Amino acid sequence: MAFPYQLKTPDAYHDAYRQSQKDPEAFWAGIASHFTWHKPWHSVVRSDFHTATHSWFEGGKLNITENCLDRYAASQPDTTAILWEPNNPAESTRTLTYRQLLDEVMLFANALKHRGICKGDRVCIYMGMVPELAIAVLACARIGAIHSVIFGGFSASSIADRVQDAGAKAIITCDGAFRGAKTIPLKSVVDDALQHCPTVQSVWVLRRTHEPVSMHNGRDYDWHSETEAMRATGNTHCHAESMDAEDPLFILYTSGSTGKPKGVVHTTAGYMLWAHYTFINVFQYQPGQIHFCTADIGWITGHSYILYGPLSAGATTLMFEGIPTWPDAGRFWDIVQKHNVDILYTAPTAIRSLMTFGTAPLQNKDLSSLKVLGTVGEPINAEAWHWYDREVGKGNAPIADTWWQTETGGIMISNLAGVTPAKPTFATLPLPGVFPVLVDENGKEIAGNGVSGNLCIQKPWPGIIRSTWGDHERCRQTYFSTYPGLYFTGDGCLRDEDGHYRITGRVDDVLSVSGHRIGTAEVENAINMHAGVVESAVVGFPHDIKGQGIYAYVICSSMPANETEMRQDILQTVSQVIGPIAKPDAIQFVSGLPKTRSGKIMRRILRKIAEGETQNLGDTTTLLDPGVVEEILRGKQA
Ligand code: WTA
């Protein structure tokens, strides 16, 4: 299938951009008409930035799985939809064709229905990167249940928070997950979480590691026997629930500047369109190509560019269970060679970490199938960009540096690979339908080129966040109230002389650690749970591989006798409360924190100290006790 709306020349891009500005309704209606609908929409877009209400294709009815599965199961049944590469290279690859994937999705959807899961119910999914994770997500979408995938690295208490906030009725999990040389006991983590989750009525367990798990009678169901029961009773067909365009498709929890993660809500039609349109255009996908996005489905990148984007295009999406450095640092390149990967989409952190192994792991690997490379999640430094271009793409595969967020549903600013020019460290130009604006602290627009400011978006796009689950006001306040009339991204940005955008990093208290979003307040809350801790302040600092590291200043009730032990205890606490991804890289014990007279922590100073600055700490005269800064400087952790 060719895509008439694929932009193949710079002119086509500029024309589409202008069109999306001049007549957004006609522009998006034209693209939406290529999808399968049960009922047409009556209005393309309605939006009010002041109340944070946006709707796309209102009145329309559809099911996203028909657009991702049924239409390709009919037109190209034997094309591989999911190509799965196991953690252990000695184990066999699995493939699911579009026909097979649809069948599996319908079977599991029926199993869920059979146990009382219906349209609108929330279902949390906490699994490793196995094909059944994709099946579970799509099965929810098939019956209109709202999925909320929780990244497999989160702790029991993080799961409990999310399950409670979503009021989830079911959890789908695995006995365990393989990750490199480790196995992670997912089901027992879920069991711990469920002690505090009264809404959960059923737990579905897929066997993967075959380690023993406890199965609660009447609550826990075995994936395999439940689906086999459906097969045995001929319950193999599952009709696709007719969803309103604005019915929620999923909730994905993400960190912000407050202590509590928020459930970003995306709805059906607009999200589908956005994931699809951006996939086709940014990666310049051609029918038959193999797309390898290395993210985990627990993050938005996996939702949009492992599942919904590629599947809505009839592509073959490669799902990898393992990690880039196991059994050795050549694993990505082995996969590219073995499966003739055309498009590789990864994070700068992965590139930087692989760079530390030098080029030896790339020797004798045939990477000539690669046509397009992509990066996402954090700013890419020039060195990593050039290494990716030279060593991986061999100078022949254009790199798309894609800027976007959980809240935007899909890519917002990026060059179109090989079509519009790339520029190292720049995301370059907005996609059609995306209208960025830079503003100063007071919300005044900074016009012209060669300027920097806070990045905002001034018009609705189809993938725009619809709400934060259970608390719409929070959505309005977080994104639409800082600069009235604009969506505020939380990112700082430079627009160069050519009008190209470069995202410089967060301007709020959100860190990007190895491309994962972590709120400093969340880490502080976790540290403060330790019995011996009185108060803490967490800031980011530049980290060679992770992009940003986590630096924690901690006040204990009494100065710890054994600092090393106390550090270990605090790390353990953070792992328990959030998960290992949020463990600080440095912990410094202090007797006080720099505070203003009104008691506000001066993070600016703490950030500078963590960055290694010793002299220009700015104005410290407004501090309650300026002496504390001297003490902190003396105790700085390397
Ligand atoms: C950052 C990930 C620079 C940014 C898809 C954003 C980037 C946050 C880029 C969203 C990029 C993402 N260049 N920074 N190409 N892409 N970011 O919600 O700070 O996990 O606000 O979504 O990642 O992270 P999230």
DSSP character string of 24-54: HHHHHHHHHTTS--SB--SEEEEEETTTTEE
Alpha helices per DSSP H over 77-217:
98-114, 131-143, 156-166, 186-193
Minimal-distance CA residue to ligand 1 atom 13: 379
Centre of ligand 1 from the C-alpha of residue 380, in Å:
11
Residue pLDDT, tens place only, 131-168: 999 999 999 999 999 999 999 999 999 999 999 999 99
**Is 438 domain-assigned?**
no
Query: In this structure, are residues 123 and 112 in contact, taking their beta carbons and an 8 Å threshold?
Result: yes
pLDDT for res 328: 97
Integer Cα distance of 205 and 223 in angstroms: 5
| Cα of 521 from ligand 1 centre, angstroms | 19
Residue 588 belongs to what domain range? 510-635
At 617 the pLDDT is 84
- Report how far residue 520's alpha carbon sits from residue 458's, in angstroms, rounded to the nearest whole number: 28
Kindly report the CATH number assigned to the domain that includes residue 229.
3.40.50.12780
Q: Do residues 451 and 494 lie in contact, with contact meaning Cβ atoms separated by under 8 Å?
A: yes
Q: What is the model's pLDDT at position 187?
A: 98
Residue 468 lies in a domain: no
Instruction: For strands 516-519 and 510-513, give the pairing.
Output: antiparallel
pLDDT for the residue numbered 300: 98
Residue 627: inside a domain, yes or no? yes
Please check whether residue 470 lies inside any domain of the structure.
no
> Of 413, 356, 402, which is closest to residue 380 (Cα–Cα)?
402
Q: Give a yes or no: residue 591 inside a domain.
A: yes
**CATH number, residue 568:** 3.30.300.30
- Ligand 1 atom at minimal distance to the Cα of residue 414: 15
Of 326, 255, 161, the closest CA to residue 515 belongs to: 255
Pocket probe mutation, ligand 1, options 349, 415, 512, 546, max atoms within 8 Å of Cβ: 512
Q: Whose CA is nearest to atom 7 of ligand 1?
A: 378
Residue 13 lies in a domain: no
What is the whole-number distance in angstroms between the Cα of residue 404 and the centre of ligand 1?
5
Which residues, in sequence order, are CB contacts of 360 under 8 Å at separation 6+?
Answer: none
- Three-state SS string across 107-132, please? HHHHHHHHCCCCCCCEEEEECCCCHH
Is position 300 within any domain?
no
Nearest atom of ligand 1 to the alpha carbon of 503: 3
The pTM (predicted TM-score) of the whole model is 0.97
Give 443-476 as a DSSP string: S-B--SSSEEEEEEE-S--TT---EETT-HHHHI
Residue 55 lies in a domain: no
pLDDT attached to residue 600: 87
- Residue 632: how many other CB atoms lie within 10 Å: 21
Pocket of ligand 1 (CB under 6 A): 254, 299-301, 376-379, 401-406, 427, 489-491, 503, 506, 512, 517
Ligand 1 centre and the CA of 410: distance in Å? 11
Nearest CA owner, ligand 1 atom 11: 403
> Which residue's CA is the closest to the ligand 1 atom numbered 25?
405
Closest atom, ligand 1, to C-alpha of 301 = 5
Domain boundary among 222, 241, 260: 241
Q: Tens digits of per-residue pLDDT, 612-621?
A: 998 888 877 7
- pLDDT lower than 50: segments of the chain: none
Residue 551: its pLDDT value, please? 97
Whole-angstrom Cα distance, residue 309 to residue 376?
Answer: 15
Ligand 1 centroid distance, CA of 491 (Å)? 8
Domain stop point among 241, 268, 294: 241
Q: Whose CA is nearest to atom 24 of ligand 1?
A: 405
- 405 C-alpha to ligand 1 centroid (Å): 5
Where a domain ends, among 192, 216, 241?
241
H helix count then E strand count, the chain = 20, 30
Pocket test of ligand 1: the residue of 262, 296, 403 to mutate, having most ligand atoms within 8 Å of its CB, is 403
CA-nearest of 482, 612, 609, 598 to 537 is 609
The count of structural domains within the chain is: 2
Q: Which residue owns the Cα nearest ligand 1 atom 23?
A: 377
- Tell me, what's the pLDDT at 1? 57
